[in-house]
């Protein structure tokens, strides 16, 4: 019977023709010749094999990863089960974007990257919005996608796509392990780069044949990195910052979400309380120092930014959120003390007087010590404080009048004022929308760091339900009993509303409040809506900003035989919120109808500082 000659025999015949042998010879086999190409690793008689799915799951577990969010399909079905077998918590979502939003939010809340698992091609492409959001927000995230088997590449493989190249613009690291035995090495690097320095995104690509490949368990190395190191400021820069603040006539501290992520709230609170410096927080910097602290001048934001002569910038960037640090929102001669982990961020929009590359925590501790040595306290009787407090009182009076107007249809301020009175002070607040998010930021207070999640630096709509799912899981595992309030504009809710099923499936007690004005920015009452659409092609007469009038979003709870709430008046809102807060194993939707023409308080400037071009 014919038989195939093994590769070792073929190579030996070719390389060493004078020493022919056969591994299949029935006689005692000859010793293999000493040649580099013929070295064969010896295995014990009992060899334990593991596949790529198991190696990947175990590698993630050893890096301290806890949560995986995703949607499964070929070729990552077995991988999702291997992840659960390894002890990872897998949360199946309804949309890859929402899965990516949830994974990055859990990374922000815990300080450890969340993982987003998706299928090849369209699955990964749906993730890119979330990847960009995490990268620009500076939140740690690891995205893992299956891909077409390598032997199908170039010939039209299933969902074949240049995934590494497409991911790279939104990542700090993007790679594909070339063999199953190298998976651990790449996982370690992906998690490390997502966490170290300025946090961001790592992407790992896994062809189906790599996930299914089996290797000897002894050939697999699992790498574990130490915790990210702290970057300490130069003592000279702390002294310069202290000197500048001590001489300032109109100082201001701006606290960003970088300070929240750095877990620097203890040091910053001590700094603010002892120095009595006025402060503002960026949207997700809220709660690092409580919004109700006497030094908070959020109600006089425009005045504080416009007239400050020295600004201490802690973990915030001079991007569009802070109007680039430029006039007319800021004084032309303002002196900025910029503290950031990333040196490339220094002087990005304006020239900072003092630029400090450092983690926020050691800088805040060092600055507190320097100011304490100077016995520095910014006197509350100074003209700057009088001016700020006067403006705060004036603006608060205007807002209070709008908040106490409970006539129907309701306005934003009335809804948020009465919502604030009922929700727990330590609740995590998720918020997205246009006016819903912006007005809610000023009306819904935070007393703790990392307790507000919103559209962020990228201004991404659709993040709310995913963020809320991550927050609810975080509360369940770390702070049982803490509530999650998800405040959504009706347009924003439409992006990811079906994640309500995910919330029901995992029994997450999220209170969703939809502030419904029937449109993007604003909508129409029923009579106006019908009149506008009464004649002509609906695609040409329906205003682009219009949504259906009074859509009954609360009825989505009926899909699960649960109760939602339809609200027109404040007593109905109060009752609905109180009942919803008692739920411990399911979400609910409170659909609050407000005036389609409800607006925000008149602004001194437009929402964004414009270019001079």
Picking from 137-151, 418-432, 560-574, which range would have the lowest pLDDT averaged per residue? 137-151
- pLDDT confidence of residue 319: 94
- pLDDT tier at 609, thresholds 50, 70, 90: low
608 pLDDT higher than 80: no
The CATH fold of domain 405-601: Rossmann fold (3.40.50)
Distance, in Å, from the CA atom of 308 to the CA atom of 330, rounded to the nearest integer, reads 7
For residue range 481-527, what is the model confidence (pLDDT) as tens digits? 999 999 999 999 999 999 999 999 999 999 999 999 999 999 999 99
Class for the domain spanning 235-389: alpha beta
390 pLDDT higher than 70: yes
For residue range 250-266, what is the model confidence (pLDDT) as tens digits? 999 999 999 999 999 99
Name the helix (H) or strand (E) containing 593. strand 588-593
Distance, in Å, from the CA atom of 264 to the CA atom of 360, rounded to the nearest integer, reads 6
110 pLDDT higher than 90: yes
- pLDDT tier at 3, thresholds 50, 70, 90: very low
For residue range 269-286, what is the model confidence (pLDDT) as tens digits? 999 999 999 999 999 999
- pLDDT confidence of residue 533: 94
- pLDDT tier at 34, thresholds 50, 70, 90: low
Sheet with 452-453, strands from edge to edge, namely 452-453, 428-432, 484-489, 510-516, 588-593, 565-567
> Taking residues 78-93, what's their average pLDDT?
98
Contacts of 15 (CB under 8 A, 6+ apart): 33, 35, 37, 38
- pLDDT tier at 153, thresholds 50, 70, 90: confident
- pLDDT confidence of residue 607: 58
Q: Is 300 helix (H, G, I), strand (E, B) or coil?
A: helix
DSSP track, 193-212: HHHSSS--EEEEEEEHHHHH
For residue range 289-308, what is the model confidence (pLDDT) as tens digits? 999 999 999 999 999 999 99
Q: Is 603 exposed, middle or buried (0-12, 13-18, 19+ CB in 10 A)?
A: exposed
6 pLDDT higher than 80: no
- pLDDT confidence of residue 601: 67
- pLDDT confidence of residue 5: 43
Picking from 107-116, 420-429, 598-607, which range would have the lowest pLDDT averaged per residue? 598-607
For residue range 168-217, what is the model confidence (pLDDT) as tens digits? 999 999 999 999 999 999 999 999 999 999 999 999 999 999 999 999 99
Q: Say if residues 448 and 471 touch (Cβ distance below 8 Å).
A: no
pTM of the predicted model as reported, rounded to 2 decimal places: 0.90
- pLDDT confidence of residue 385: 97
39 pLDDT higher than 50: no
Q: In whole angstroms, how far apart are CA 435 and each of 213, 431, 438, 466, 592?
A: 52, 10, 5, 20, 14
Q: Note whether 49-219 and 235-389 share their fold.
A: yes
Percent of the chain with pLDDT over 70: 90
- pLDDT confidence of residue 20: 37
Q: Say if residues 515 and 433 touch (Cβ distance below 8 Å).
A: yes
Q: Alpha helices of 119-172 — where are they, by DSSP H?
A: 122-137, 163-167
> Taking residues 546-567, what's their average pLDDT?
97
Q: Say if residues 544 and 571 touch (Cβ distance below 8 Å).
A: no
The hierarchical CATH code for the domain 49-219 is 3.40.50.970
- pLDDT confidence of residue 423: 98
For residue range 457-488, what is the model confidence (pLDDT) as tens digits? 999 999 999 999 999 999 999 999 999 999 99
> Taking residues 537-557, what's their average pLDDT?
96
- Residue of 274, 279, 251 whose CA lies nearest to 377: 274
For residue range 297-344, what is the model confidence (pLDDT) as tens digits? 999 999 999 999 999 999 999 999 999 999 999 999 999 999 999 999
- pLDDT confidence of residue 149: 82
151 pLDDT higher than 90: no
Name the helix (H) or strand (E) containing 216. strand 214-216
440 pLDDT higher than 80: yes
Average pLDDT, the chain: 91
- pLDDT confidence of residue 24: 34
- Residue of 80, 51, 328 whose CA lies nearest to 212: 51
- pLDDT confidence of residue 37: 37
- pLDDT tier at 25, thresholds 50, 70, 90: very low
- pLDDT confidence of residue 46: 57
219 pLDDT higher than 80: yes
Q: Say if residues 364 and 267 touch (Cβ distance below 8 Å).
A: yes
* Residue predicted with more confidence, 435 or 605: 435
Domain assignments of the chain as residue spans, ordered by start: 49-219, 235-389, 405-601
């Amino acid at each position: 019977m014919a038989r195939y000659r093994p590769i070792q025999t073929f190579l030996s015949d070719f390389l060493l023709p004078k020493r022919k042998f056969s591994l299949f010879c029935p006689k005692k086999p000859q010793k293999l010749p000493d040649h580099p190409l013929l070295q064969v690793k010896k295995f014990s008689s009992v060899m334990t094999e593991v596949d790529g799915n198991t190696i990947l799951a175990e590698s993630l577990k050893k890096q301290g990863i806890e949560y995986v969010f995703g949607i499964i399909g070929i070729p990552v079905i077995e991988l999702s089960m291997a992840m659960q077998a390894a002890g990872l918590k897998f949360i199946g979502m309804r949309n890859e974007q929402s899965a990516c939003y949830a994974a990055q939010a859990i990374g922000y809340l815990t300080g450890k990257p969340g993982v987003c698992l998706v299928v090849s091609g369209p699955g990964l492409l749906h993730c890119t919005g979330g990847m960009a959001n995490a990268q620009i927000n500076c939140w740690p995230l690891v995205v893992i996608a299956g891909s077409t088997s390598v032997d199908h590449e170039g010939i039209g493989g299933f969902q074949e796509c240049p995934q590494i190249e497409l991911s790279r613009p939104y990542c700090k690291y993007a790679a594909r392990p070339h063999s199953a035995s190298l998976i651990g090495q790449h996982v370690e690097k992906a998690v490390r780069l997502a966490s170290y320095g300025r946090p961001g995104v790592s992407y790992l690509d896994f062809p189906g044949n790599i996930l299914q490949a089996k290797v000897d368990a002894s050939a697999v190395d699992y790498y574990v990195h130490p915790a990210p190191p702290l970057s300490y400021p130069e003592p000279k820069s702390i002294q310069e910052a202290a000197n500048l603040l001590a001489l300032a006539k109109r100082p201001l501290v701006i606290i960003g979400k970088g300070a929240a992520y750095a877990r620097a709230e203890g040091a910053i609170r001590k700094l603010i309380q002892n120095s009595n410096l006025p402060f503002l927080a960026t949207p997700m910097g809220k709660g690092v120092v409580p919004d109700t602290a006497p030094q908070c001048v959020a109600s006089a934001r425009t005045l504080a930014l416009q007239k400050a002569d020295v600004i201490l910038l802690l973990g915030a960037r001079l991007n569009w959120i802070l109007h680039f640090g430029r006039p007319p929102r800021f004084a032309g001669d303002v002196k900025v003390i910029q503290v950031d982990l990333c040196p490339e961020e220094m002087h990005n929009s304006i020239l900072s007087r003092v630029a400090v590359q450092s983690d926020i925590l050691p800088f805040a501790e060092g600055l507190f010590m320097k100011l304490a040595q100077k016995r520095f306290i910014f006197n509350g009787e100074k003209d700057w404080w009088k001016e700020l407090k006067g403006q705060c009182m004036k603006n608060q009076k205007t807002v209070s009048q709008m908040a106490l107007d409970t006539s129907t249809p309701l306005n934003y301020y009335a809804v948020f004022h009465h919502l604030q009175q009922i929700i727990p002070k330590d609740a995590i607040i998720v918020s997205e929308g246009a006016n819903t998010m912006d007005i809610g930021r000023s009306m819904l207070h935070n007393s703790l760091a990392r307790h507000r999640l919103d559209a962020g630096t990228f201004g991404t709509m659709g993040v709310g339900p995913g963020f809320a799912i991550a927050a609810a899981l975080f509360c369940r595992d770390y702070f049982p009993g803490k509530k999650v309030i998800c405040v959504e504009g009706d347009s924003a809710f439409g992006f990811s509303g079906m994640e309500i099923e995910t919330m029901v499936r995992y029994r997450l007690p999220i209170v969703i409040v939809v502030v419904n004005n029937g449109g993007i920015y604003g909508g129409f009452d029923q009579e106006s809506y019908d009149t506008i659409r009464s004649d002509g092609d609906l695609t040409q007469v329906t205003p682009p900003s219009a949504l259906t009038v009074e859509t009954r979003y609360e009825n989505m709870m009926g899909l699960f035989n649960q109760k939602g709430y339809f609200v027109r008046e404040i007593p109905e809102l109060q009752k609905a919120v109180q009942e919803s807060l008692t739920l411990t194993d399911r979400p609910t939707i409170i659909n609050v109808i407000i005036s389609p023409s409800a607006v925000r308080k008149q602004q001194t400037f437009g929402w964004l500082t414009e270019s001079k071009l």
